[in-house]
Amino acid sequence: MDKKDLLKLAAEMTLEEKALQMTQLSPDMLYHLAPANLTGPLREWRFEDEELWKVGSTLGPLGASYLKKLQKDYLERSGKKIPLLFMSDVIHGYVTIMPIPLAQGCTFDPELTEEAAAAVAKESAVSGLHVTFSPMADLVRDPRWGRVMESCGEDPYLNGVMAAATVRGYQGRDPREKGKIASCVKHFAAYGQPEGGREYNTVDMSRGVLRDFYLPAYEAAIRAGAAMVMTSFNTVERTPATCSRFLLRKVLREEWGFDGVVISDFSAVEELMNHSVAADDLEAGEKSIHAGMDIEMMSGVYAGTLRRLLEQGRITQQEIDECVMRILELKNRLGLFENPYKDADEQEEQRLLYCGEHLELARRFARESMVLLKNQSALPIEPSAKIGLAGPFACTGNILGGWHCEGKPERTETLQHALETVCGDRMVTAMSTHFIRGEKDVPDQVEEAVERLKDCDICIAAVGEPEWETGEASSKTCLRLSASQEKLIHALKAAGKKVVTVIFSGRPLDIAPVLEDSDAVLQAWFPGSAGAGAAADILLGKYNPSGRLSMSFPRNVGQIPVYYNYYNTGRPAAAKADNYVSRYLDCPNSPLFPFGYGLSYTTFACEGLQVEQTAQGGERCACETGRAGDRAVCTASVRVSNRGERSGETVVQLYIRDVSASVVRPMTELKAFRRISLEPGEEAQAAFTVTEDMLSFYNEEEQWAWEPGAFEIMVGLDCEHVEKKEIFVPAGTGGLEE
């Protein structure tokens, strides 16, 4: 359908039809199947049956047969024949579940991320989905917050690169194409920094911090073509994001040029009254419309107020029509007017869902995402070793992670099965040790486990946090392993065993209490459908770990938030003892494990940093942030060598520091990275082009610019171990972004 036809269709719509196009409800509500115990605002909103069948989109269940029937029933009742949009939270997999996004960030592999997102899109599309609420581009620094599992970590650049890759994987060149879906980036903005790590809490930060750290990843997703944006529950500068004209009008539409659909989070328009920025539903609707909120999710403010607001002159017809046109244009972009069923296909579901190709991809992804944190000659496990396995994650398929959609833990391979498939009778498992149920552990079985594993050469403690303690509404103040899990690790070590601790979690945990008693620590995260096999591949030496931390690990919860790219202070902590500096009395400032850190079964060296400056007015080059091309400032290169006896991959990381600027700048900022694979004894050059864009920031006038002066160029294998050189970039090679 062309633009002229869309405009004609919009002109023919009644105000009621427009208000309902701007409303999203559960498909169960259309069939009157909403559960009796439904909570929240939907208890108070009552839609007439005729109104329900005019809503523009639904949130919830998938399945080709179900959604084809729903679309058919809807169109039969629709006078205008405007197809429904089907949306859902497919976060890291539909049926075949990939590693959680926080683990995906640890791959530093946008190409693999894009490939995985494309597989997720295929499964979702054949099951009838049109839009997924992913990626979550929220930058995170506080692991007390349960939703860190949905982010790619604490760094704005890495977060943006991975968000953009995810968008490309979902949408391809055109979301209308077979096997593609539209991407909705969320939660705009700064949802990942709630005070105290407490879900739905206030977010309070300066405009500079917002622009330096929290906005770039959303912008990268928009520049990659994301079709939709979901707002966040929180406030930004004392205004809820749901009705923030600064975010939705100035930043999103004016600065970034976004012309797609904006949707609220669940009941967030009505919750403006709880925020005390709206006295009633009329004011909540008015403020949301003025901000440019196109779709209200799971509440009825728009349906109940738009007519009154228009009659009272509090909103304009143009504001409503702009919202409706964006919704119609998205449906048209997906090809729904020509084929309202798009890719929904029961036979294709049978062929694609949980297929071998997708499971193998999930295994590759999981292998790359796992991070070896410690290894004192314990891994890989010797081929002849007798292996003991204990802990709550030894024999469970509950390793998919939160938001695992239609993933089935009961058919997910366990770590026990994955190891026994290779090791056979060399395996001994303490089958029922310390499963975590409810709010506390079942009675201790540590002594029984130690006795059962007494003849083993090496013991694997499969530990972590329960899946239900991660994700939305899962904030925690204690990040330690449960007492019985810590006791298990201590007891195995006390029995004289080599102990390999494998951690399944959705966040960085406080593992300092078990670090000393662990000869090796593998952070497996929640690795998805093929995660057990991936972990076994690493433990047994079939795969050399290459993951690098996308989020710092704290020494204890008192350090939180702890992150690498902090602003310096007037009294920075120094190497010498001095009380009057920014430090703790009882703990180092540094994290237990820093951003970008990860071990390998081989030894990599990164040395010989060379920096060559480009002549003034250097040539323009491609910009990895997605901005218009910008000029090269210098090239930085290092020699990377594999000095060990195994082939392996490492991640070479480029960091920059603005030594002196008009405003305080971060001590270190990741600007680029390269994954490099080397055979034993092999070496290669890792080269980076440093551009004006990498030196730029939003200054006090909120202009994107760079300033002449000194810059430190740093290259290394994590943020703390780098070679550095200082360069001076004079005026005349650029300036304000053109």
Scanning 228-355, the segments in alpha helix (DSSP H) are 245, 281-291, 301-311, 317-333, 346-352
Residue 79: the pLDDT is: 87
Same domain, 330 and 376: no
Same domain, 301 and 181: yes
Of 342, 357, 386, the residue that ends a domain is 342
Of 304, 322, 342, the residue that ends a domain is 342
**Is residue 228 domain-resident?**
yes
* Residue that has been written with the tokens 């930085």 in this structure: 636
The CATH number covering residue 270 comes to: 3.20.20.300
Residue 629: the pLDDT is: 53
CA 645 to chain centre: 35
Same domain, 411 and 493: yes
* Residues of the chain under the 70 pLDDT cut: 33-46, 431-444, 575-577, 615-629, 732-738
Residue 290, both tokens:
């003025």
| CA–CA dist 501, 514 (Å, integer) | 9
Quote the domain boundaries for residue 675. 604-729
**Is residue 585 domain-resident?**
no
Same domain, 325 and 385: no
Beta partners for 669? 656
**Is residue 556 domain-resident?**
no
pLDDT, tens only, 168-191: 999 999 999 999 999 999 999 999
What 3-state class would DSSP assign to 688?
Answer: strand
Same domain, 77 and 206: yes
Q: Which residues contact 38 (CB under 8 A, 6 or more apart)?
A: none
- Count of domains for the chain: 3
Same domain, 543 and 651: no
343 given a catalytic annotation:
no
Of 548, 571, 590, the residue that ends a domain is 548
Residue 593: the pLDDT is: 99
**Is residue 590 domain-resident?**
no
Same domain, 247 and 174: yes
**Is residue 6 domain-resident?**
no
The CATH number covering residue 654 comes to: 2.60.40.10
Same domain, 658 and 536: no
**Pick from 121, 131, 129, 118: which is nearest to 64 by CA?**
129
Same domain, 408 and 506: yes
**Is residue 454 domain-resident?**
yes
- Residue 668's identity, in one-letter code, is T
**Pick from 180, 97, 182, 105: which is nearest to 139 by CA?**
105
Same domain, 321 and 378: no
Strand 520-523 and strand 620-621: the pairing is: unpaired
Residue 737: the pLDDT is: 32
Residue 49: the pLDDT is: 78
Q: Is the peptide bond before 189 cis (omega within 30 degrees of 0)?
A: yes
DSSP labels, 43-64: GT----HHHHTT-SEEES---H
| CA–CA dist 419, 427 (Å, integer) | 8
Predicted TM-score (pTM) of this structure: 0.96
pLDDT, tens only, 534-551: 999 999 999 999 999 999
Query: Do residues 245 and 290 make contact, with C-beta atoms less than 8 angstroms apart?
Result: yes
Same domain, 237 and 338: yes
**Is residue 11 domain-resident?**
no
The CATH number covering residue 511 comes to: 3.40.50.1700
Dihedral sign of CA atoms 236, 242, 247, 249 in order: negative
Same domain, 379 and 337: no
Which helix (H) or strand (E) segment holds residue 690: the answer is strand 683-691
**Is residue 518 domain-resident?**
yes
Catalytic residue among 142, 212, 265, 517, which? 265
